[in-house]
């Protein structure tokens, strides 16, 4: 069997992670750079002029114009946390380094906290990532497939049309080099033309070219102004053997593997979390699940809340 070269690309080693984020000071510097890439900006008056005020060990940014004070963790999921940033960063690292995912019980042992803390940390990270994905719009070439995910139930029909599973639309945007850039996984009521048309209007840009199998409902993507390039599959021409569906099949396979470690999370949150870790960055052009450095930075960026609060 020919080795899959993607599996042998370098990631972020534990020693490299500890070198970059092994102390509280390093984590604070990374968080500050993520929040204010071009320097501090006052959330009240948008002034850049500021000074540092210390309240005990707490570093506070004070605006020189309006005197608003903001801590480094205000407006993020770290706000008012009693857990050190080192522990949070370790949690992000271990959650992004394996496609099999990590359970809350395993995370508890890895970062040295109680089970309840590990559970809350994992769910908070999952939630902010899922919220960040809500504005994703796919453009260019987009691979689309129908998917059914859910628990195991005896009896009933398997696969397409199963009453035991939830239907999802899986879509992956690829660039001119054929590299996956972004992905979305969206639950739908059914695979009808009306449902797919509504899905396309929400998630696809009019410039997108949709590559799908011959399922009739996918023709409805044209309602969003998209071009449609159906590929006929059958018993002698399986989609899993076709290069045009390589990345959507890869992501579906990885997601089914990752779900095993995602206890007590809704299927939608699971999908959105896994997508954030497994898709490629349109900024770096490299796979997040292979380059752990980017996966960590991407999950860090997702920790910012939409409505930042003050101290």
In a domain, 300, yes or no: no
Q: Are 192 and 169 in contact (CB under 8 A)?
A: no
Token code pair at residue 190: 């059914």
In a domain, 14, yes or no: no
pLDDT digits 0-9 by tens, 117-136: 999 999 888 888 777 777 88
- Alpha carbons within 13 angstroms on the beta-carbon side of residue 248 total 27
Pick from 151, 173, 177, 172: nearest CA to 252: 172
pTM check: above 0.75:
no
Residues in the chain: 311
pLDDT digits 0-9 by tens, 22-57: 999 999 999 999 889 899 999 999 999 999 999 888
pLDDT range class, residue 154, cuts 50, 70, 90? low
In a domain, 245, yes or no: yes
Residues 191-198, mean pLDDT to the nearest whole number: 94
In a domain, 214, yes or no: yes
Residues 67-86, mean pLDDT to the nearest whole number: 90
Segments forming the whole domain that contains residue 171:
136-261
In a domain, 183, yes or no: yes
| Cα(146)–Cα(189) distance, integer angstroms | 12
In a domain, 246, yes or no: yes
CATH of the domain at 204: 3.30.420.10
Number of domains in the chain: 1
In a domain, 224, yes or no: yes
| Cα(34)–Cα(302) distance, integer angstroms | 10
Pick from 189, 187, 196, 184: nearest CA to 226: 196
In a domain, 168, yes or no: yes
pLDDT digits 0-9 by tens, 259-285: 655 544 555 555 555 444 443 333 233
Q: Is the pLDDT of residue 302 over 60?
A: no
Angle at 254 between CA 191 and CA 246, to 5 degrees: 70
């Amino acid at each position: 069997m020919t080795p899959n070269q993607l599996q042998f690309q370098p990631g972020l080693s534990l020693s490299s992670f500890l070198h970059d984020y092994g102390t509280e000071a390093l984590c604070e510097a990374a968080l500050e750079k993520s929040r204010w890439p071009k320097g501090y900006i006052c959330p009240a008056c948008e002034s850049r002029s500021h000074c540092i005020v210390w309240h005990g060990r707490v570093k506070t940014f004070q605006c020189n114009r309006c005197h608003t004070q903001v801590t480094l963790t205000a407006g993020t999921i770290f706000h008012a946390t009693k857990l050190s940033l080192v522990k949070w960063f370790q949690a992000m690292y271990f959650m992004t380094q394996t496609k099999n995912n990590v359970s809350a019980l395993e995370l508890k042992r890895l970062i040295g906290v109680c089970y309840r803390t590990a559970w809350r940390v994992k769910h908070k990270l999952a939630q902010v990532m899922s919220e960040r994905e809500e504005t994703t719009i796919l453009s260019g070439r987009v691979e689309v497939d129908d998917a059914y995910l859910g628990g195991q139930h005896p009896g009933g029909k398997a696969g397409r049309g199963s009453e035991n599973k939830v239907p999802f639309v899986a879509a992956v945007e690829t660039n001119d080099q054929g590299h996956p850039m972004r992905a979305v996984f969206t639950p739908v009521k059914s695979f009808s033309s009306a449902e797919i048309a509504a899905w396309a209007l929400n998630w696809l840009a009019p410039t997108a070219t949709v590559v799908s199998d011959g399922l009739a409902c996918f023709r409805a993507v044209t309602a969003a102004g998209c071009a449609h390039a159906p590929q006929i599959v059958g018993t002698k021409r399986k989609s899993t053997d076709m290069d045009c569906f390589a990345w959507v099949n890869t992501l579906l396979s990885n997601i089914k593997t990752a779900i095993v470690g995602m206890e007590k999370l809704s299927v939608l949150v699971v999908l959105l979390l896994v997508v954030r870790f497994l898709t490629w960055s349109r900024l770096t052009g490299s796979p997040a699940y292979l380059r752990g450095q980017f996966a960590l930075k991407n999950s860090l960026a997702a920790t910012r809340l939409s409505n930042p609060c003050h101290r």
